[in-house]
Amino acid sequence: MDFKNGAWILEEGVAAFEPKQIYEKHITKTEVTLIAPTTKILDKGGTLGGILLTIKITSPSDGVLRLQSFHHMGLKDRDPKFELDTEEKELETEEKDGCLTIKSGNISLVINEENGEMKYMRGDTLLTKSNLAFVKEDFRGMPYDTTGRGSHMAEQLSLGVGELVYGLGERFGAFVKNGQHIDIWNKDGGTSSDQSYKNIPFYMTNKGYGVFVNEPDRVDFEVASNQVSKVVFSVEGESLDYFIFDGPTMKDVLVKYTDLTGKPALPPQWSFGLWLSTSFTTDYDEKTVMSFIDGMLDRGIPLSVFHFDCCWMKEFHWTDFTFDEKTFPDPKGLIKRIHDKGIRVCVWINPYIAQASDAFKEGMEKGYFLTRENGDVWQWDMWQPGMAIVDFTNPDAWTWYQGKLKTLTDMGVDCFKTDFGERIPTDCVYHNGNDPKKMHNYYTYLYNKCVYEFLQKEKGEENALVFARSATAGGQKFPVHWGGDCWSDYEPMEQSLRGGLSLTSSGFGFWSHDIGGFEQTSTADVYKRWAAFGLCSSHSRLHGSSSYRVPWLYDEEAVEVVREFTRRKLSLLPYLYSEAVKCHKTGIPVMRSMALEFPEDRNCAYLDKQFMLGESILVAPVFREDSVAEYYLPKGKWINLFTGERREGGDWLTEKVDYHTIPMWIKSNTILATSNYTEDADFDFEKELELVAYDVTDAKCDVYKNGELLVTYEMKLTDEKKGEYEYRFIYGKQVHEDFKPNVVVF
């Protein structure tokens, strides 16, 4: 919310009330409570009225502080709330020279008791200054302020010289958020606007700290926009709750943030292979499906998952969880035939139930849908005529929905694409009485949790997976997420990458996008470039809107490109899967920005057209018709994955790239876990593992299998002239006695 008019004055009618002193304090081992008047109290008469703020400071873990501020505390506590690990740790407190210092790990909040000023410190280094305020939009003086309307709680945190802000969910505009006004409110707006499917009220800066606003309702962020040296965030109401995390690096911030909100679950190994979709509104039946699958396999393109999008169900009946008998008379037999080819099956679902379906009648009669205040089912005609929305706060509706999914898993379906979940109304009633405004963003959390937990039970922890579009804070626990509906040109390809890097800067570990673009049909040129990019992402799916995405419909070279990059990705699967395990354990994403990996290199701060795939591989997609790639290699030595060329970094490169390569560079002193097996994604690393040492001086490589350590290989150069090394294998519990992977020194 923009409360200020320039630097000096507030907007007309707006009044802001900031702490002017600490009048009273209560200190325990785990909590500090402060009573902070917003006018200076000179005598007892000054205590007879006015606005008073209550401030509570706690810590869920070392290096993290939580600040809760309240105006009126008598309001009913309304759900939902984010599911957080908020165990309270002991605080260190010190009172000295009129200041109260509250410390957790290396971060401290220093409060001037005389004037109420607050600042966050890392040791003796200033992180940010705080200007907390209660704000009224229509303030007419104390005697008239009785309605509670127009109330907001706002925090203003300072930014230092050169300080840059990252995160706030999946955002398709500039990767660095400085200068942007960001509304944390999920919308179905495609990938080319300021709207987002995945709004996360969390940001971090290159100063190495992060901020999470613990509010599932709308949060308004002014990021160095109205006040160009401040981040201002506000929520409607009488209270504000936020956490601040000290890194000291941005990676450390993500570790601590996901300690609080949840680590990304570990996707199954098979999910890292190539997915092929029917596309959205295309015509298809069993013959079409099998022709696509056989066409890919006959052309030597390994497939891991085949996805049935909306039209596996009858028109006007989405979502009724029933295969259209006209086009799929034997769905169980079809799924078995797909399984027999070593391919898993995914089907499209959403939480909206069309009026024409039998599921609607059942859900309406049993009270499983959102209702209006008069008890009518909440319906509208956007997306499906007369559709209703499943109420996941109703335990019986939750169980009913999972029962519908079970009819599909009993047929052999392996996973679900959980589409939609953004256009959730606020003029509705929930079964458990949850606040509908707070539920707008939070709805997607319950939706994806319902489906994910069902798959955990039905398929086992190691095979649970959704392919989700919408998300809120904590949604990273239910991977994988894809970037939503993009057009099919170079610009949307670039926008998609920015959105993905922004999302993975917000606690999400895995990300995908529609190879070739979603809307319309790309040129063969764009398709081939997007295939290279998509198959260097953590997850890779060929998907579109009204046209198919099989490569032979573009040109024969597209077939070669998809085949080559699919097999290249499978050859890197031991590395990718091991990076995924590390992501699951730490919260550091598999696909990550250059700024996250190289925070000390100022040239990386704004880069959003290249990325790191794990810790060791730099990828720079081509975004131009003239086949020119422009990218930056950070300082250090690098080895080209395709050519073996060695380069010293610290400079920009411009090169012409054919369709069969993409700039992919390996950091020196890397041991890369690879495989010579490229037929499918569901293979045993133990049988086909090859470790490639790139200019190693002293390095190690951890390789994981089934989520557990398979082997650690350590290697140290002892004599450079003779090329002699010390090395050792450390084996995990899963290893057979005769296991010894091949090692290649490059």
The pLDDT value given to residue 2: 82
- At position 375, the amino acid (one-letter code) is G
| 701 vs 257: CA distance, rounded Å | 26
**H or E element, residue 303:** none
| 667 vs 641: CA distance, rounded Å | 10
| 256 vs 264: CA distance, rounded Å | 13
Mean pLDDT of the chain: 97
**H or E element, residue 404:** helix 395-409
The single residue of 155, 236, 246, 485 carrying the catalytic annotation is: 485
b/e map of 210-244 (b: 16 or more CB within 10 Å)? Answer: bbbbbbbbbbbbbbbbbbeebbbbbbbbbbbbbbb
Domain locations in the chain as residue ranges: 4-74+85-261, 269-484+510-521+536-549, 670-745
Using alpha carbons only, what angle is made at residue 319 by residues 402 and 472, rounded to the nearest 5 degrees?
65
The pLDDT value given to residue 639: 98
pLDDT band at residue 457 under the 50/70/90 scheme? very high
CATH superfamily of 269-484+510-521+536-549: Glycosidases (3.20.20.80)
Nearest of 262, 172, 266, 265 to residue 473 by alpha carbon? 262
- At position 639, the amino acid (one-letter code) is I
Contact 209, 120 (CB under 8 A): yes
Torsion sign across C-alpha atoms 433, 434, 437, 442: negative
Q: What is the DSSP string of 577-644?
A: HHHHHHHHHH---SEE-HHHH-TT-GGGTT--S-EEETTTEEE-----TT-EEEEEEPSSEEEETTT-
The single residue of 18, 217, 259, 422 carrying the catalytic annotation is: 422
> What SS3 class is residue 56?
strand
> What SS3 class is residue 491?
helix
Q: How many CB atoms lie within 10 A of CB 666?
A: 21
> What SS3 class is residue 411?
coil
Nearest of 593, 470, 503, 468 to residue 168 by alpha carbon? 503
What angle, rounded to 10 degrees, do the helices at 524-534 and 490-504 form? 20
pLDDT band at residue 534 under the 50/70/90 scheme? very high
Please say if 690 is a catalytic residue: no
What percentage of the chain exceeds 70 in pLDDT?
100
- Quickly tell me which residue has 């899963």 as its tokens: 734
| 418 vs 437: CA distance, rounded Å | 22
Residues 112-159 pLDDT 10s: 999 999 999 999 999 999 999 999 998 988 888 888 789 999 999 999
Nearest of 632, 215, 637 to residue 441 by alpha carbon? 215
Fold of 4-74+85-261: Immunoglobulin-like (2.60.40)
pLDDT band at residue 498 under the 50/70/90 scheme? very high
Q: How many CB atoms lie within 10 A of CB 363?
A: 23
Same fold, 4-74+85-261 and 269-484+510-521+536-549: no
> Residue 378: is its pLDDT beyond 90?
yes
Q: Which residues contact 375 (CB under 8 A, 6 or more apart)?
A: none
Q: What phi, psi does 475 have (nearest 5°)?
A: -65, -15
Q: Considering all CA atoms of the chain, what is the largest pairwise distance in Å, rounded to the nearest integer?
A: 87
Q: How many CB atoms lie within 10 A of CB 602?
A: 11
The single residue of 215, 217, 320, 419 carrying the catalytic annotation is: 419
> Residue 1: is its pLDDT beyond 80?
no
Q: Which residues contact 486 (CB under 8 A, 6 or more apart)?
A: 190, 191, 192, 492, 493, 495, 496, 513, 514, 517, 518, 519
CA–CA distances in Å: residue 157 to residues 37, 120, 201, 230, 290: 20, 9, 15, 5, 57
Residues 210-227 pLDDT 10s: 999 999 999 999 999 989
Residues 308-345 pLDDT 10s: 999 999 999 999 999 999 999 999 999 999 999 999 99
- Quickly tell me which residue has 């709805």 as its tokens: 443
Please say if 557 is a catalytic residue: no
Secondary-structure percent of the chain, ordered helix, strand, coil, rounded to 5: 25, 30, 45
Using alpha carbons only, what angle is made at residue 285 by residues 320 and 351, rounded to the nearest 5 degrees?
20
The pLDDT value given to residue 559: 98
Q: Verify cis geometry, omega within 30 degrees of 0, for the bond prior to 37.
A: no
Contact 344, 270 (CB under 8 A): yes
CA–CA distances in Å: residue 458 to residues 408, 409, 475: 11, 8, 20
pLDDT band at residue 27 under the 50/70/90 scheme? very high
- Across the range 226-251, mean pLDDT stands at 97
- Quickly tell me which residue has 């700039």 as its tokens: 663
Residues 142-201 pLDDT 10s: 888 888 789 999 999 999 999 999 999 999 999 999 999 999 999 999 999 999 999 999
Q: How far is CA 574 from the centre of its chain?
A: 23
Residue 45 DSSP class: G
The pLDDT value given to residue 147: 80
The pLDDT value given to residue 735: 86
The pLDDT value given to residue 502: 98
Residue 380 DSSP class: B
> Residue 24: is its pLDDT beyond 80?
yes
> Residue 95: is its pLDDT beyond 80?
yes
251 is written with which tokens?
């990676």
> Residue 660: is its pLDDT beyond 90?
yes
Please say if 422 is a catalytic residue: yes
The pLDDT value given to residue 148: 79
407 is written with which tokens?
């009819």
